[in-house]
Structure 1
Amino acid sequence: MNRIPTEIHALIYSLACTDDGTTGRALSSVSRHIRFASAPFRFTSLSVSGVEQARGFLTQLKQFAPFALSPCHTSPGDHAEDNIGDGSWETKRCSYPIHHLFLSTRPSSLAADERPVHITPSAEWAVCQEVILRYAAPTLHTLSFASFDLNDAACIGGVLAVPLPHLTELTIRARCTPSQLCSAIISISPPQPGFDAQGAVTDQDDTAEHPHSRPLLRRVHLASPFHGFATGTNSLHSLLRTIAPSSSLTHLRLSLSDMWGTRRVAEVLHAELTARGVVSPTLELAPLPRDVPVVWTAKEVTWNPILPGADQIPDPASQHPAAEAAQPHDSLERFVLQPPPTALTDFFCSCCMELRGDVDVLRVFDAMARDADARAGGRGRFGYVRAKRGGYGYAEALRDWRERIVDEEGCWMDDGERDALQRGKREYRQENILGRGEGNGRGSGGGQPAKVKKGRRLTWTQRAVRLFSQSSSQNSTT
């Protein structure tokens, strides 16, 4: 290994360190040479769950890069919250860059909403969270944040208060509603350009002087209670445009986690998707045993839109001069919805936001997904993930984050695409490990496969050498 060029080492470690940080930590304990060579890739992708792991990571970071986090007056035995809360820690240049980060307020064993360990996240977690985010901010590309405490609006508001200039994808799994989160953001940090202190949309002429804190953000996934849009869409409208510039957002997913009605959600989303030409205005629904309508018709959008980009299109009927020269602009490439984990009943209750049973409402989402795929001639712009018993939890968030690291679809896949992916992975493993038998005429007639031979899997070193040789040959030809 000592004779391998540094470029080969870099390719090996970049391919290996694509998990939750386990490989990077293991490489640091192999030898001094490997520890030094793999240092830039040690925290490329990092998963921190709970206060214990957060405290351990900060301790490890001080050992590896003492100049990265420099306490002004600390001792080795001090806790992080005793030093960082007063601003004595200064985050310096990121010598161990973090490109992909997964943060959870609880460890996996306690990551469940029905386990009320704390009503609010601990003060120590809030301090560690801020230090980790500010350290990773200059190089962070992917961030997934999962919270399982009841009053977590201030904690998530602290996440959104940190400027992330290179962030391209953000997932927030929370228990607070969009209105609660908007209030927390306003109380923690000044409003983003184009919004007043109440989160309402204002004139955006000053956006050039005050750029957005996440200018490159393209994909946003929100998993939280939405209360069935009972109080309207203003809070979610303002929240999404505070998180990311509306005109540049290409992917959006909403995972509903509360046991509320979804009828109003279906009406709002069907109307907005119809206005964009993603789905048809009239949907034929699957019949039910009860005498319920089998046709669903889109309404007119008379509310602040949820989907990004729509508020950037001037109304052609308006008298504004820009309306005449307005060009259609729709940045949305993919919208995914996961309904709440409610029971499949045909119960009707007029006091629950006109909830007409989940069987009736969920078939609307099914019809929307089928219609979107049919109109697109393949994969449509609307994806539907069926309701699951536990909703979108820790395991799903960590799985999607890991898949996005290796350029898989992650949370942007629907159920059919995920099933196909799992089948493809199983077939690939069988072909790669066992290999394919080839008929050689000995012991098998009619060209049937002979004895199955065991195939060889490429190691990280072999893959890196192959990639390096390919890149070298391309550079030599150019």
Structure 2
Amino acid sequence: MNQLPLPEELIALIVEYACVDDGTTARSLLSASKQLMRIVTPIQWHSLALSGAGQFCGFAHALSRVSERPIYHLFISDRVASNARHFWTPSRVSRDGTGTIEELHSKEERERIQWRNAQSFILERAAPTLQTLTFLVFDPRNSARRVGDMLKQTYPNLRELTIRVPPLQPLFASDPIDLSTIGGNAGFVATFGNSKAHLLPRLERLHIAGHYKTSTSAPSRIGSISSGVTHLRLSGIFAYPFTRELAAELFARGVLDQDVLVGNPVAHAPPHFVPESVELLVLQPSTPDYSNSWGTDHGDSAIQLMGAFEAAARIGTQVLYLPPMVHGYYGYDQAKVDWLDRIGGGAGCWVPQEEVVVPAEADPSSENLQSSHGGSMRAPSAGSGMQGYIPSFLNVFLGRW
């Protein structure tokens, strides 16, 4: 290719638009020609998906060898899609008996340190420009530490954050996860630690996919992290006590016009959980069967109560109730679809949409739980239809020069 078929400035605009995906398009275009490589290289990491320790740590190494390049949209999962479930990983001690428990622990410790170093470096480099971040943690051994480390960084331009935590969090592994910013409630702040709102000064949309039991349970501590949050989504609610406490708070604040707890009020006023600035509250429960598998009864009651929120919501603050998730929890495939949709101009997880259905497979840790991996992923649905076409067009059209 001696000369590009279009002005380089125009090619750069097309390429920049085409590369708003998980990094696949940029990697493809880098090998098309030397001239195209020169155009793509500065923007190849504008949006990027990193899944599993191998890819994550490999990217940290690549990032360390180049000058600073902006990262605007980042999707991180500590497990690859095929293994993105929240069971405790089966023992990897070799079946021939040559491996030992000590060797296994030593290997896991090395991997834990490698991930932690890579995470610290990647997020430090990305933080100044990062606008959207989806951070999925499936490993219950390291979930608290990884989320805690992620929240030590300052993100001056982050507008949207999704955090997914597994049902079992070994909170002894690190400081409790706390993002509460309840002004004027000294007792609550003293109980749950210091505010982290200053780390996310421009955050507008927060999505927490966890397993909510009560408003003071560990996953529920991930609450109001910015006074400017206008969109809040809670996915994975499966306990009636938390649902009742949330209903009491929303009614007390005037978000609900009707008291959905008439005849069955809460015994005491729970600590505030939803930030005052929220304009849209999205709630999605787990299935009753999934709730029961974790020893939580009354899953049906929680679902019925959440369904009443939407009808009782006062005009001006919208409460959107989504039906229970097919697989019981917010998994890798759905999270990536939502992330791609958002960075492509769509609504992502903030509107009802068809859930990604993946083939069911037995979870090695429980015969009762379905997995959330495999299957195909649909293209971003809104505002990004051309993105599936442009990479192919560029490869065919530009590849001839």
Matched residue SS, 1:135: helix
Q: Any residues of structure 2 matched to 1:30-69 within 5 Å, and which? A: 30-62=32-64, 66-68=65-67
- Identify the match of residue 352 of structure 2 among 397, 405, 414: 414
- Identify the match of residue 249 of structure 1 among 214, 229, 244: 229
2:393 and 2:270 mapped to 1: Cα distance? 56
- Identify the match of residue 223 of structure 1 among 205, 209, 223: 209
1:128 equivalent to 2:145? Answer no
Query: Which amino acid in structure 2 is aligned with residue 10 of structure 1?
Result: A
Deviation at 1:192, TM superposition (A): 12
C-alpha contact 1:126 1:155 (8 A) present in aligned 2: yes
Specify the alignment match of 2:104 in structure 1: none
Deviation at 1:184, TM superposition (A): 1.8
2:304 and 2:182 mapped to 1: Cα distance? 38
Deviation at 1:170, TM superposition (A): 0.9
C-alpha contact 2:176 2:218 (8 A) present in aligned 1: no
Deviation at 1:367, TM superposition (A): 2.3
Specify the alignment match of 1:156 in structure 2: 147
| Greater gyration radius | 1
Q: Any residues of structure 2 matched to 1:195-210 within 5 Å, and which? A: 199-200=189-190
Bigger relative contact order (CA 8 A; separation at least 6) = 2
- Identify the match of residue 282 of structure 2 among 317, 326, 336: 336
- Identify the match of residue 303 of structure 1 among 254, 260, 270: 270
C-alpha contact 1:384 1:415 (8 A) present in aligned 2: no
Percent identity (aligned): 32
Query: RMSD of the alignment, in Å?
Result: 4.4
Query: Which amino acid in structure 2 is aligned with residue 219 of structure 1?
Result: R
Specify the alignment match of 1:386 in structure 2: 324
2:31 and 2:145 mapped to 1: Cα distance? 38
C-alpha contact 2:72 2:132 (8 A) present in aligned 1: yes
- Identify the match of residue 303 of structure 2 among 362, 379, 394: 362
Specify the alignment match of 1:398 in structure 2: 336
Pick closer, same or farther for the CA change 1:27–1:116 going to 2, 3 Å.
Answer: same
Matched residue SS, 2:247: helix
Query: Which amino acid in structure 2 is aligned with residue 149 of structure 1?
Result: D
Pick closer, same or farther for the CA change 1:201–1:364 going to 2, 3 Å.
Answer: same
Encode CA deviations 1:23-75: one digit per residue, 9 max, x unaligned: 0111111111000011222011100111111233234335xxx343xxxxxxx
Pick closer, same or farther for the CA change 1:160–1:386 going to 2, 3 Å.
Answer: same
TM-score normalized with structure 1 length: 0.61
1:113 and 1:407 mapped to 2: Cα distance? 30
Specify the alignment match of 1:233 in structure 2: 216
Pick closer, same or farther for the CA change 1:47–1:462 going to 2, 3 Å.
Answer: closer
1:296 and 1:13 mapped to 2: Cα distance? 60
Matched residue SS, 1:222: strand
2:18 and 2:303 mapped to 1: Cα distance? 41
Q: How many residues align?
A: 348
Q: Which moved more, 1:38-47 or 1:172-181?
A: 172-181
C-alpha contact 2:51 2:78 (8 A) present in aligned 1: yes
Pick closer, same or farther for the CA change 1:17–1:381 going to 2, 3 Å.
Answer: same
1:214 equivalent to 2:194? Answer no
Pick closer, same or farther for the CA change 1:102–1:211 going to 2, 3 Å.
Answer: closer
2:197 and 2:118 mapped to 1: Cα distance? 27
Specify the alignment match of 1:28 in structure 2: 30
C-alpha contact 1:236 1:306 (8 A) present in aligned 2: no
Query: Which amino acid in structure 2 is aligned with residue 22 of structure 1?
Result: T
TM-score normalized with structure 2 length: 0.72
Q: Which moved more, 1:121-130 or 1:394-403?
A: 121-130
Deviation at 1:376, TM superposition (A): 4.2
1:281 equivalent to 2:279? Answer no
Pick closer, same or farther for the CA change 1:415–1:3 going to 2, 3 Å.
Answer: closer
Matched residue SS, 2:318: coil
Deviation at 1:166, TM superposition (A): 1.0
Specify the alignment match of 1:8 in structure 2: 10
1:114 equivalent to 2:87? Answer yes
Matched residue SS, 2:199: coil
C-alpha contact 1:219 1:251 (8 A) present in aligned 2: yes
Q: Any residues of structure 2 matched to 1:438-449 within 5 Å, and which? A: none
- Identify the match of residue 78 of structure 2 among 105, 108, 115: 105
Matched residue SS, 1:252: strand
Specify the alignment match of 2:367 in structure 1: none
C-alpha contact 2:86 2:167 (8 A) present in aligned 1: no
Query: Which amino acid in structure 1 is aligned with residue 27 of structure 2?
Result: R
Deviation at 1:393, TM superposition (A): 1.1
Specify the alignment match of 1:328 in structure 2: none
Specify the alignment match of 2:128 in structure 1: 138
Matched residue SS, 1:161: coil
